[in-house]
A = this chain, B = another copy of it.
Amino acid sequence: MPRALSGASPAGALAPLDHYGITICASRNEEIFVEGDPAKYGYRLVSGCVRTVKLLEDGRRQVGEFLLPGDLFALESLATHDFSAEAVVDSKLRRYSRAALEEFADHDPGFARQLRELVGDRLRTARGRMVTLGRKTAAERLAGFLLEMADRLNADASGVLELPMNRTDMADHLGLTIETVCRGLTELRRHGTIAIDRARISIRDRPALGAPGRDLLH
C-alpha cells in the first residue's frame, strides 16, 4: 500500500470516503485543528502541505510530520487530537466525519482493514522518526529529510525539489535549531551534494545524501 495516493481522489477500498467528505480550505499558517480538540474529523490533503505540531508549555515545538497531497491523517481512533495541524501553505483538504467513517468500517470489513493499514503506516513512520531524533546526527537528519522529501515531492528524477516549508519548520521537525539546519544545508552545498535557491533545492549527488557518514562529515 503506497503512502501517497493520488491527491485528487482516494484509491481502492477508500473510495467511499468521497461520499462522506466535504472540501475545506486552509490558508498559510491557519490551524486546521488544535491539540486537545475532540477528534470529530479525519482528513485527506488534496493540495498544499500540512504540518502536525506539538507544543511544550515554554514554546518548544515539535513538528511530527509534513503531510503532502494524497496523505490521510487524523484517522486513528483517539477521542481527542493529540497534535495540532496547520497549513504550511494555502491548502485544500477533504474532511470526513470520524463517526461516519467508524460506522462505515463497521459494515465494510475491507474498509476497516484499510483504516487499520493507514494507521499502521503512520505508526511505522513515527517509529522511524524516533530513531532519527534519538540517534542521528544533524547531518544525517538533514540528508535523510531531503531524500524523503525528494521521494515524496517529485516523481521526476531531475532532483529538483520545491520545499513548501521554511527552515524553522524543518528545524522543529528534525529536532534541531534553524541555524544548524542552515549550516548543514550550506555544508551540503559546499560539497556539491545539493544546490540551494531559497526554497528550491536540487539534489546533485544522491548517493552522498544516502551515506552522509562517508565524506560528508568533512
CB interface residues, A 65-117, toward B, < 8 Å? 76-78, 82-83, 102, 105-107, 109, 112-113, 115-117
Q: Is the CB of B120 within 8 A of A175?
A: no
Task: Using C-beta atoms within 8 Å of the partner chain, give the interface range for chain A.
Answer: 35 or more
Smallest CB separation, A71 vs chain B (Å): 15
Q: Is the CB of A116 within 8 A of B76?
A: yes
A38 within 8 A of B: no
CB interface residues, A 116-134, toward B, < 8 Å? 116-117, 119-124, 126-131, 133-134
Smallest CB separation, A13 vs chain B (Å): 13
Smallest CB separation, A117 vs chain B (Å): 4
A135 within 8 A of B: yes
Interface of chain A: mostly helix, strand, loop or mixed? helix
A56 within 8 A of B: yes
In the complex, A117 Cα to B79 Cα: how many Å?
10
1/0 per residue, CB under 8 A from B, across A136-174: the answer is: 100000000000000000000000000000000000101
Q: Is the CB of A131 within 8 A of B77?
A: no
The listed residue (B61, B76, B112, B128) touching A112 by CB distance below 8 A is: B112
Q: Is the CB of B58 within 8 A of A213?
A: yes
A204 within 8 A of B: no
For A62, list chain B residues within 8 Å (CB): 130-131, 134-135
CB interface residues, A 29-86, toward B, < 8 Å? 54, 56, 58, 60-62, 64, 76-78, 82-83
Smallest CB separation, A161 vs chain B (Å): 23
Q: Which residue of B lies closest to A171 (CB)?
A: B134
Q: Which residue of B lies closest to A118 (CB)?
A: B77
For A172, list chain B residues within 8 Å (CB): 134
Instruction: Report 13 cross-chain contacts, Cβ distance below 8 Å, ordered by A residue.
Output: A54-B130, A56-B131, A56-B136, A76-B119, A77-B119, A77-B120, A78-B121, A105-B113, A109-B112, A112-B116, A123-B123, A123-B126, A135-B175
